[in-house]
């Protein structure tokens, strides 16, 4: 067995062990990276340690730290309740309201897990109160949390940009992450509208106003936190956009090259501390350390895989063995199969993004399509009961009966439907790009 096959097997075993034992997949990946790197590739221990993706680690830590203040003081929770209250008179379109609310809150930096953990119980409660179809509701809240987190300055978007930078596309990373966000934002709207049409025909149960209590107004601390969030978004997004519009403007180019979402987030986190918007220890404790370890641990193993030539081998196989037109669909399906039991952020993207430059070079396909197809395919199966989204939804069920009914709905209806529309979106991208 050659080293590349050992590396591939180690990635598979890491994922399987993580799923089976509930121990962080990243820890298993680090162990494999150590043994393969030091004892099969003759790397020094220090060289293996240096493969730890410090850039990605810092950015995720910094962004999460800043947004955690809005979680601690209740800003994001109250914002979500205000959005739902404003739309209480349109029960038929409640799934769409849930989707936009989850998307908006997640885009502000709360992240997929945080948003879904909050919205899932609320969504299922609304299903019981209004007769809203659970399939539609589950798809809406899962897609919303995913799509919002894909925003360029939110949790997943930051990770995607870091991985794309590491793959050698730093000049286009903003454009590529914008593409991922736009597709993951628009696609669910089409799916949800179609589901609303199919499930509400002749159904009078979803009528009348929602029984949602008027939330209390934002207090002074929460208003200030919202102001800081929007100020941070403005700083981070304004200069990349202006640079796209005016690429030859020297001042804008100078500033844009020095605006980093991680460093800017640290600045605003310090401002939050000075303004006493939340407790420092609580904010640090809420940083998603498990996710960080998983992403960076798998990233370390992937860097060792690059040293072993595994990534080039996989890229060569995909690029030479499959017709070019099939490659984006293959990446979407592979991403979906991996995400069925694991994490898009922690496993799928760190594993697949590094091979995309070679595939793009071999096939001539726009790298933006390949990155987007991988993410869309992977996130299509995140609603699986065995993956992050589905398990959070099942965990939010109040009774075993409800949980037992929702399990096959997610597995046999939601997953196939989401995969179908993911592949359809890939086909549309191929037509236009």
Two tokens at 78? 């109250």
Cα(175)–Cα(152) distance, rounded to whole angstroms? 9
Cα(28)–Cα(14) distance, rounded to whole angstroms? 5
Two tokens at 102? 């989850």
Cα(132)–Cα(95) distance, rounded to whole angstroms? 8
Question: What DSSP string describes 359-416?
Answer: HHHHH---HHHHHHHHHHHHHHTTTSTTSHHHHHHHHT-SSHHHHHHHHHHIIIIIHH
What is the pLDDT at residue 260?
82
Question: For the whole model, what pTM was predicted?
Answer: 0.74
Per residue in 255-309, pLDDT tens? 888 888 889 989 999 999 999 999 999 999 988 788 788 778 888 888 888 788 8
DSSP 19: H
What is the pLDDT at residue 110?
65
Cα(220)–Cα(398) distance, rounded to whole angstroms? 35
Cα(77)–Cα(74) distance, rounded to whole angstroms? 5
With a cut of 70, which residues of the chain have pLDDT below it? Answer: 1, 110-111, 129, 201-211, 311, 341-343, 346, 386, 388, 398
Question: What DSSP string describes 384-397?
Answer: STTSHHHHHHHHT-
What is the pLDDT at residue 349?
85
What is the pLDDT at residue 209?
58
What is the pLDDT at residue 327?
92
Residue 412, judged by CB atoms within 10 A of its CB (0-12, 13-18, 19+), counts as exposed
Residues contacting 119, CB < 8 A, separation 6+: 80, 98, 101, 102, 105, 141, 144, 145
Domain boundaries, the chain: 52-287
Q: Look up tokens 């925003």; give the residue.
A: 151
**Angle of CA points 40, 43, 48, to nearest 5°:** 110
């Amino acid at each position: 067995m050659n080293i590349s096959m050992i590396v591939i097997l180690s990635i598979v075993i890491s994922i399987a062990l993580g799923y089976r034992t509930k121990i962080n997949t990243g820890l298993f990946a680090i162990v494999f990276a150590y043994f393969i790197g030091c004892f099969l590739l003759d790397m020094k221990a220090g060289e293996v340690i240096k493969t730890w993706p410090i850039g990605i680690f810092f950015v995720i830590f910094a962004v999460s730290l800043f947004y955690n203040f809005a979680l601690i003081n209740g800003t994001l929770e109250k914002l979500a309740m205000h959005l739902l209250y404003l739309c209480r008179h349109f029960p038929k379109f409640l799934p769409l309201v849930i989707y936009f609310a989850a998307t908006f809150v997640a885009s502000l930096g709360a992240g997929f897990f945080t948003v879904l953990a909050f919205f899932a119980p609320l969504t299922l409660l609304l299903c019981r109160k209004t007769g809203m179809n659970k399939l539609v509701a589950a798809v809406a809240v899962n897609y919303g949390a995913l799509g919002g987190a894909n925003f360029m300055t939110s949790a997943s978007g930051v990770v995607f940009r870091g991985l794309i930078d590491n793959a050698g596309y730093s000049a286009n990373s903003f454009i590529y992450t914008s593409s991922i966000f736009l597709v993951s934002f628009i696609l669910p709207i089409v799916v949800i509208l179609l589901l609303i049409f199919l499930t509400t025909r002749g159904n009078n149960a979803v009528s009348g106003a929602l029984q949602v209590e008027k939330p209390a107004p934002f207090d002074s601390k929460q208003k200030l936190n919202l102001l800081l969030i929007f100020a941070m978004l403005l700083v981070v997004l304004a200069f990349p956009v202006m640079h796209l519009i005016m690429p030859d403007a020297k001042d804008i180019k100078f500033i844009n090259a020095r605006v980093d979402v991680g460093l800017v987030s640290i600045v605003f986190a310090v401002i939050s501390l000075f303004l006493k918007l939340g407790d420092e220890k609580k904010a640090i404790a809420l940083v998603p350390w498990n996710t960080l370890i998983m992403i960076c641990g798998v990233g370390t193993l992937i860097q060792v895989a690059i040293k072993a030539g595994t990534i080039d081998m996989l890229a060569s196989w995909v690029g030479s063995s499959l017709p070019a037109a099939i490659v984006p669909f293959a990446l979407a399906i592979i991403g979906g199969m991996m995400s069925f039991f694991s994490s898009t952020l922690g496993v799928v993207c760190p594993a697949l993004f590094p091979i995309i430059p070679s595939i793009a070079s071999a096939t001539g396909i726009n790298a933006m399509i390949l990155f987007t197809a991988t993410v869309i395919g992977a996130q299509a199966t995140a609603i699986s009961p065995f993956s992050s989204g589905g398990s959070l939804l099942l965990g939010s069920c109040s009774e075993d009966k409800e949980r037992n009914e929702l399990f096959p709905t997610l597995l046999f209806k939601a997953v196939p439907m989401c995969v179908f529309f993911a592949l359809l979106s890939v086909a549309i991208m191929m037509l236009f790009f």
